[in-house]
Amino acid sequence: MTSKILLSCCVLCVCISQANTQFNKNMYTNMNISFTKELERRQEGRRNCWSPPSELSAEDVIKARSGQQMDLENEPVLRIPVRFIDIHTGSPTSMTQINNQIIVMNRAFSGYYNSEAVNTRMEFVLSEIEAIRSNTNSQGECNPFDSKFNQFQKSVVKDISTVLNIILCRRPLYLGWVLYLPNAGYGRTNPPRAETSHELAVIIDKETMPGGTIGGFNYGYTAVHETGHFFGLYHTFMKHSGFSDGCFPGDLVADTPSEKSDSSSCTSKNTCPDNSPYDAGTDPIHNFMDYSPDSCMHSFTEGQAIRMRQVIAEYKPTGYKAWSDNENNERISVTSTTKTTT
C-alpha cells in the first residue's frame, strides 16, 4: 500500500430537505448557526451540510497531495457488507427500495453513470436489515443534537469495523449526515475515531432513496455522498482554518478542480481562478461530493478512489482485510430482524 493520509478534521453532514416545515430553531441557535440562512436554503430546495472547521498544516496538505499514487487496476475489489437500520412508525422501508439503493451505490462506485467516471473497485452487498418501530417518530433517534441520539446510535450500530451501517430515518430537516470521518477528530485536539466507533455510521433520510418523495434528491445519491464521507472524502468545496484562500486546499484531492462554494444546480461555473495546478477547470458540479441535485451527479475521480482506499487501509484495517477477502464475502447472506422502541 502506498503512502498514508494522516489528516485531522471532523464533518457532521447535516443536509437540508424541502419535504416538511417543522424546524427546531434552538438546535441552530445553540450551535451558533444562522437559522435564517439554513431556512432560506431549505426553502430553495438546496442541500446543506454543517462542518466544524478543520485544522490542517501545510505539511498535511503536501502529504495528502503527494500521496495520491496507486494503480487501481491492481488493487483488490473491496466487497463491503451493508446493514440497514430502518427506523419507522409502522411501515418499514420496502425490500425493493433497499435493493434499489444497493444497486445505485454499486453503479455510482463502479463508474456506471458516466464514461469519465472512475471505477473505484468497491462493491456493496446487502447483509442485514433491522426494522425498528419507533413510538417517537424518529425525533430523538435521528436528531444528532438530541440527547437520545448518541445512546440510540450506540445501541443499534453493529460490527461497524467490517460492515457499513446505514440508518434510515424520516426527519423533517436532514437529508443525511456522518458524525465523523474515519480519520477525523475535532481538529488537533481530538484523536481520530476508532474503527469500531458507532459514531462512524451513515444516517440518511429514507425519502432520498430511489423513488423517495424528496424532489431533486431521490435518486439514491445521498447514500452515495455520505458513504464517501464514511470512507474519508471531504466535500469538493471543503474549507480549512488557517487558509485564507477559499479555493485551496479544498478536498485534498489533486484531480478535483478547486471550488470556492457549493453547487446548487446543474449550471457550469468556475469559482476559482486558474492560478495553480489544483484550481484548473470548472467546478466539479457532477461529483458525488458536491451539493448538486441528484440529476447532476454522476462520478468520483481517480484521486478520490485512491484517497478512499488509503483512508480505509490506514484507519479501517480490519475492514480492509475483510473486504479484500472476496471468497468469504461471496457467502454473505441477508438476515432480517424487527423490534420496537419507546
Concatenating the DSSP letter of every residue in 23-84 gives --HHHHHHTT--HHHHHHHHHTT------PPEE--HHHHHHHHHT----GGGSPPEEEEEEE
Strands 54-55 and 240-241 turn out to be parallel
Q: Residue length, the chain?
A: 342
Instruction: For the chain, 342 residues long, give each residue's pLDDT as a single digit of tens.
Output: 333 323 333 344 444 433 333 334 444 444 444 444 544 554 566 665 544 345 555 445 545 544 567 888 889 999 999 999 999 888 899 999 999 999 999 999 999 999 999 999 999 999 999 999 887 655 567 777 777 788 888 999 999 999 999 999 886 567 888 877 776 544 444 567 789 999 889 999 999 999 999 999 999 999 999 999 999 888 898 876 556 667 877 788 888 888 888 888 999 999 887 666 666 689 999 999 999 999 999 999 999 999 899 889 888 999 999 999 866 555 555 666 666 664
Candidates 38, 55, 226, 259; catalytic one: 226
Q: Is 252 left (phi over 0), alpha (psi -120 to 50) or beta?
A: left
Entry pTM? 0.82
Q: Which three cell numbers stand for residue 64?
A: 495528502
Strands 202-205 and 176-178 turn out to be antiparallel
Measured CA to CA in angstroms, residue 240 lies from 151, 250, 308 at distances of: 30, 8, 19
**Is 75 annotated as catalytic?**
no
Terminus-to-terminus CA distance in the chain, angstroms? Answer: 47
When computed from its CA atoms, the radius of gyration of the chain, rounded to whole angstroms, is 19
Half-sphere exposure of 148 (CA within 13 A, CB side): 12
Residue 190 is predicted with a pLDDT of 53
